Structure 1
Amino acid sequence: MDEDERDQGGSGVAEQSPEQLIARAIAPVKKNFLCPPPVRDSTPNDDVSVPDDNKTTSVLAKEKKSKRQLKRERRQSTLQDQKSPRNLCPEIARTGDVSSCPYKDKCRFSHDLEGFKAQKPADLEGQCPFLKSGGTCPYGLACRFSSTHEVAEPSGNLNGLKNSSEVNGLSKDVQKLLWKNKMSFSKADAKLKSLGLAGPKSKRNDFENKDGGNTGPNNCDQSDDSGSCVVTSDSGSKLECPAEVMKDDDNDIDEKSESDVLCPQKRRKTEENNGPKEAENEGVTVTEQIVERSCIKSELEAGTDAMTPETDVSLKLHSREKKLIDYREKLYLAPLTTVGNLPFRRVCKVLGADVTCGEMAMCTNLLQGQASEWALLRRHSSEDLFGVQICGAYPDTVARTVELIEQECTIDFIDINMGCPIDIVVNKGAGSALLTKPMRMKSIVEVASGTADIPITVKVRTAYFEGKNRIDSLIADIGSWGASAVTIHGRSRQQRYSKLADWDYVYQCTRKAPATLQVVGNGDVFSFVDWNNHRTECPELATCMVARGALIKPWIFTEIKEQRHWDISSGERLNIFKDFVNFGLEHWGSDTKGVETTRRFLLEWLSYTCRYIPVGLLDVVPQRINWRPPSYHGRDELETLMASDSAADWIRISEMLLGKVPVGFTFAPKHKSNAYDRAENG
C-alpha cells in the first residue's frame, strides 16, 4: 500500500467498497466524511531535495561521547539550571520567605525570589489540583495555579498533600542501603540455595556487561556433570554479586569502602561464624544489615480481597497456601511502557478497568535503588487490584527483587515479563530472550514463587522466532513451577506487531494448561465484540488483557461492561483528557516542571488516540485495531483535530488543557506500532 494513502483521502478510498477497504486494512469511513485529495504541484522533481554534502560529512564526523562525558555534561547543566532564578528553593516557594531555607548560602537552589516572579509563566486557568482535594499545595509560589491559593501564609509539610493517595515510595534509608549494597536478602538467598542455584561468588556483569557478552537468545544454558541445568552468567558464574551492580558509570556513588562492596552472602557467613562483634570488626555491622520495615497501612488494604493477610513472619506460606487472585471475567489493563503511567491507570479505573499493573521495571535498576525505576511501582488508592511487572535475566536477580518489592511495597501480585521484544532487553538475556531458555525460565519462576508470599504471574509471547511456537509445550510446566497465572501475547518476538495476534494458538495453549493455572489472552482486543468472541471460542480462558486498545480508546472497558459501541463525542473525549491532566498534576506536580512532564505524557498518549475513528463515521462497526484511517474530517472542529496524526495538532490539544508550550518546544513520540505504519498490512 502507498505510504501516503491517508493523505490521498478520497482519491482512491471513496471509489472502493467497504469490503475492499477492509481487505486492505483500511478503515471504511463514510464517504461524506472523507477529505478531498490534496492538489499536488505537477512540477517535475518537486519532492527531490539535494543533500548538503558538507552537512552530511560534519554529522558523520561527529565524535561519539562516552558515558562519563555525557554524565559530566548533565551534572554541569543541572548545576547551572539549579542556580537559575527559575529554580527557586522549594522551601522559599512554599513559605514565600527568603530566610526560611535552613541551608542558607549552601542551598543548591536559587534564592532570588524577585527574579523567579519576573520570569514565572502566567498561571493556568482552573483551580490548584491539591486544593481541589481539600489539602494544601506543596509548591506554594511555584504552583502554576498560585493565584487560586488562599492569601494566608502556607503551612504544613513540604510534601503537603502531594501523592497522599499514593503508596510504594522508596524510603531514603532503604535507598542508601541499596546504594551501598548492604541490603539483606535472606529469603531469596535461602531459596536459591535450596534450589541449588547458589553457586560460587565470582564477578557478574548482567545488565552492566561492558563488552557486550553473549547474553542474547543464542546463549543457551549449560549443564553440569550430572546433567542438571546450571544457570550461568556472562562470565560463567552461577550467582550474581549485586555489588557489581553499583559499578555502572551512571551511578552517583563515587567512593566505596571495602565493606560497601562485600557480597551479602559473605557478610552473612562472617556473622554466622564470628558473631556480631567479629562481624563488626570485618567492616560490616549487624545493625547496618537489618532494616526496620514499617508496613504501609492504608484504606486500600481493608478494601482489597486480594491482599495477603498479615501473618507471623516466622510462618512461611506454602505456594499452594497463597491467597490467589481470580482473574476470571475481570477487565485487565496491560502494563504499558511510558503511557501506562499512574495517571493513565487512574483514567482507566474510572472507565471500568478491574486489574491494573505498573510499567515494566528492570530488576537491576530496582536493586540499585534508582528512584526513577521505583517510581514505576507507585500505586494509587483507587487501584484496588494492582500488581507490578519486573524483568530480569537471572534467578538470583529476580529473587532478590521479589523479596525487596514484597517488603517495601503494598501490592497484590508480581508479574515477571518474559516477552519484552525490545532489543536492549533481549540482548542482555531478559524479556523474550528467556523463551529460548526454558530451564532458566523454570529457575526464575521457581525461585520467585518460593520467595514471595503473594501470587507470581508470568507474561510470555508465543515464541522468540516466527513460526517456531513453543509455549504449548511449556504451559503445563509453568503451573508446576509455581506461577498462578500466565498471560500469552499471541505474537512472536520476531513478528512484533506486523500481523494480527494468533488467537487460535492462544486457545490451543489454554486448553493444555492445568486447572490450577489461569490463562489470560492478549492481543488486538479493541471492542466488546472481540472480548465476547474470545470468551465464547475458549471458555477455559480466564480473561483477556487489553493493551493498545486501551491506549487508543480507554473507554473500551466501559463498552465491554455495558456491551455497547460507544459513539463518544469529542467533548466527552476532551473531558477524559482533562481528567488525565488533573491526575498528572497531582502525580508529577503543579509547578512548571510538573506541568511540562504532564504535557509530555499527554502528547505520548495523543499519538495513540488519534487512531480512533468515531463509531458514527464508520460504514462497518466495530473498528479493528489494524485498520489505517484515511484522511477524514469529524463531525465538529474538535473531532477533526483529534483525528490528526500531526504532532503540531497534538500540541494544540495540550495547550487547550495546559497553556502555551515553552519557547522552542518540540515533540516526537517514543513509540510507533508497526501494525499502523508498515505497508505489508495493506
Structure 2
Amino acid sequence: MIKIGNTELRDYPVVFAPMEDVSDPPFRYMCKQFGADLMYTEFIAAEGLVRDAKKSLKKLDIFDYERPIAIQIFGHNIDSMVGAAKMVAEVKPDIIDLNFGCPVKKVAGKGAGAGMLREPEKMVEMTAAIVKAVDIPVTVKTRLGWDEDSKIITELAEPLQDAGIAALTIHGRTRAQFYRGEADWTLIREVKQNPRINIPIIGNGDIKDPVGAKRMFDEYGVDAIMIGRAVIGRPWIFKEVRHYLDKGEFMPPLTIDDRVDMAQMHLQKSIEWKGDVYGVLEMRQHLSNYFKGLPNFKPRRLKLLTTPEPDGVRAQLEDIRKVYKNYALDNNHLIENHCSKLEKL
C-alpha cells in the first residue's frame, strides 16, 4: 500500500494526470467510474486565485465521489503561491500539488511550471514555504530538467523531499522536449533507487496501454504511474490497466453500446457543469476519440464536431449506436497525442 500524507492507495496505483482543458469535473467523473486511484484537477494559476479570477475559482470545484483528489497550482511568485495554497486548503482536497513541469511558453516562459527548473533553489524555497503554510500534504510534479544539458532531477529530488513534500511525480522529458520524442525513465528509476528517498515516486510519460503500464512498474520500480494524454477519449484505460496488472490478461473489448453509453453520460455531466453551449463545445475532443478507429466515420465525426445543441449531439450518438451496433473496437487502439488549447498558444 502506498501512502501520500494520510491518503492510502492500493499497490500499483494508476493516477490520472492534470491536463488543461481535460481534467475537469465531468471527465474526472468518467475516469473515477473506471477506477482511477488518484486524480488531479486542471492546473490553476496562483495569480488568478489570489485575484479572485472567476475561471480560476471555478477550477476549485471538487466533489466527494472524486476522492482522493489533488488540486494543482502553478506560479512564479512565492507569496502568490503561498496565498493560493491557503485558498486551495479551504476547499479541503486530499493533496495540494505544485506544477513545476508545464512546458508551454505561456507558463514556462514566465518562470512558472517547468520554468522553475531554471531556478531550483527558488523552487525548493517556494515548496518549503507552501508546506509550512498549509496542513494538507503537498506534492510536486516536475520534469527531468530544463534541457538536455541541465537534467537536475536526481540532485533536486532530495532537497524537495527535505522541504517536506509527500510525493514526487516526474515526467520523463525535459522542458525543451515538450512532448516530443520518447520519455526517458532512467533518471526516474535513479531517483527511486536513491536510498535517501523515502517518499513515493510517481512516473509519468508515454504510458499508452496496459503492457506499457506494467513495464514501467517492473523496469523502473516506481510506486505509482500517472497517465495523461492516452486517457482522452478512453477513460476506461484505468480499468484496462488494473485488469492487466491483477490478472495478466487483457480486458474484454468494449461494445459500441458501452462507448455510446459512456459518451452520453460524459456529455450530460459536461452540460450539467458548464451549461449547454460550453458543455457541448468542450466535449468535442472527447467525442471524436470515443469512436476512434470506426470505419467510414469521418462524416459522423464532422457532425459530432459541428452540432451545437445537446439534443442534436445525443441524436448523433444514437445514430452511431444504430449504424455500428455489430462492430467491435479493440480496447488497445491507441489515440493520437493530445495537445491542449494552451499548448497550441
TM-score (norm 2): 0.83
Letter in 1 for 2:64: S
Higher strand share: 2
Counterpart of 1:512 in structure 2 is: 194
Number of residues paired by the alignment? 312
How many Å apart are 1:548 and its aligned residue? 0.8
How many Å apart are 1:585 and its aligned residue? 2.5
Match of 1:379 among 46, 62, 74: 62
Distance change (3 Å), C-alpha of 1:420 and 1:532? same
The question of whether the paired residues in 2 share the 8 Å contact of 1:357 and 1:387 is answered with yes
Counterpart of 1:398 in structure 2 is: 81
Deviation digits for residues 88-118 of structure 1 (CA, Å, limit 9, x no counterpart):
xxxxxxxxxxxxxxxxxxxxxxxxxxxxxxx
Query: Which structure's CA Rg is the greater one?
Result: 1
The question of whether the paired residues in 2 share the 8 Å contact of 1:491 and 1:501 is answered with yes
Distance change (3 Å), C-alpha of 1:460 and 1:513? farther
Partners of 2:120 and 2:211 lie apart in 1 by 35
Counterpart of 1:90 in structure 2 is: none
Match of 1:595 among 276, 279, 282: 276
Distance change (3 Å), C-alpha of 1:416 and 1:351? same
The question of whether the paired residues in 1 share the 8 Å contact of 2:188 and 2:220 is answered with no
How many Å apart are 1:516 and its aligned residue? 2.5
Distance change (3 Å), C-alpha of 1:439 and 1:558? same
Counterpart of 1:657 in structure 2 is: 313
Residue 186 of structure 2 corresponds to residue 471 of structure 1: no
Partners of 1:439 and 1:375 lie apart in 2 by 32
The question of whether the paired residues in 2 share the 8 Å contact of 1:394 and 1:440 is answered with no
How many Å apart are 1:362 and its aligned residue? 0.2
Match of 2:28 among 345, 350, 357: 345
How many Å apart are 1:360 and its aligned residue? 0.3
Partners of 1:571 and 1:398 lie apart in 2 by 45
Q: Percent identical across equivalent pairs?
A: 25
Match of 1:449 among 117, 125, 131: 131
Distance change (3 Å), C-alpha of 1:449 and 1:565? same
Residue 255 of structure 2 corresponds to residue 573 of structure 1: no
Secondary structure of residue in 1 paired with 2:42: strand
Q: Which runs of no fewer than 5 residues in structure 2 stay unpaired?
A: 245-249, 317-337, 341-345
The question of whether the paired residues in 1 share the 8 Å contact of 2:7 and 2:68 is answered with no
Residue 207 of structure 2 corresponds to residue 525 of structure 1: yes
The question of whether the paired residues in 1 share the 8 Å contact of 2:131 and 2:138 is answered with yes
Q: Which runs of no fewer than 5 residues in structure 1 stay unpaired?
A: 1-305, 308-321, 589-593, 614-632, 635-639, 661-670, 674-682
Deviation digits for residues 372-426 of structure 1 (CA, Å, limit 9, x no counterpart):
111111112311201100001022111111112213x021110000011111111
Partners of 1:551 and 1:655 lie apart in 2 by 23
Match of 1:546 among 227, 240, 245: 227
Residue 83 of structure 2 corresponds to residue 416 of structure 1: no
Letter in 2 for 1:657: V
How many Å apart are 1:609 and its aligned residue? 4.5
Distance change (3 Å), C-alpha of 1:356 and 1:646? same
Deviation digits for residues 161-182 of structure 1 (CA, Å, limit 9, x no counterpart):
xxxxxxxxxxxxxxxxxxxxxx
Secondary structure of residue in 1 paired with 2:122: helix
How many Å apart are 1:329 and its aligned residue? 2.1
Match of 2:18 among 335, 339, 351: 335
How many Å apart are 1:551 and its aligned residue? 0.9
Counterpart of 2:144 in structure 1 is: 462
Letter in 2 for 1:505: L
How many Å apart are 1:461 and its aligned residue? 1.0
Matches within 5 A, 1:177-256: none
Letter in 2 for 1:429: G
Residue 327 of structure 2 corresponds to residue 672 of structure 1: no
Partners of 2:147 and 2:311 lie apart in 1 by 44
Partners of 2:83 and 2:10 lie apart in 1 by 26
Secondary structure of residue in 2 paired with 1:359: coil
**Superposition misfits of 4+ residues, deviation over 4 angstroms:** 324-328, 607-610, 643-649, 652-656
Match of 2:241 among 545, 560, 571: 560
Secondary structure of residue in 1 paired with 2:186: helix
Residue 109 of structure 2 corresponds to residue 427 of structure 1: yes
The question of whether the paired residues in 2 share the 8 Å contact of 1:359 and 1:377 is answered with no
Counterpart of 2:322 in structure 1 is: none
Secondary structure of residue in 2 paired with 1:382: helix
The question of whether the paired residues in 1 share the 8 Å contact of 2:158 and 2:196 is answered with yes
Distance change (3 Å), C-alpha of 1:472 and 1:561? same
Counterpart of 2:180 in structure 1 is: 498
How many Å apart are 1:467 and its aligned residue? 4.7
Secondary structure of residue in 2 paired with 1:458: strand
Letter in 2 for 1:485: A
The question of whether the paired residues in 1 share the 8 Å contact of 2:147 and 2:175 is answered with yes
Residue 170 of structure 2 corresponds to residue 488 of structure 1: yes
Partners of 1:385 and 1:475 lie apart in 2 by 24
Partners of 1:583 and 1:388 lie apart in 2 by 20
Partners of 1:416 and 1:513 lie apart in 2 by 24
Deviation digits for residues 106-142 of structure 1 (CA, Å, limit 9, x no counterpart):
xxxxxxxxxxxxxxxxxxxxxxxxxxxxxxxxxxxxx
Partners of 1:507 and 1:566 lie apart in 2 by 32
Distance change (3 Å), C-alpha of 1:334 and 1:644? farther
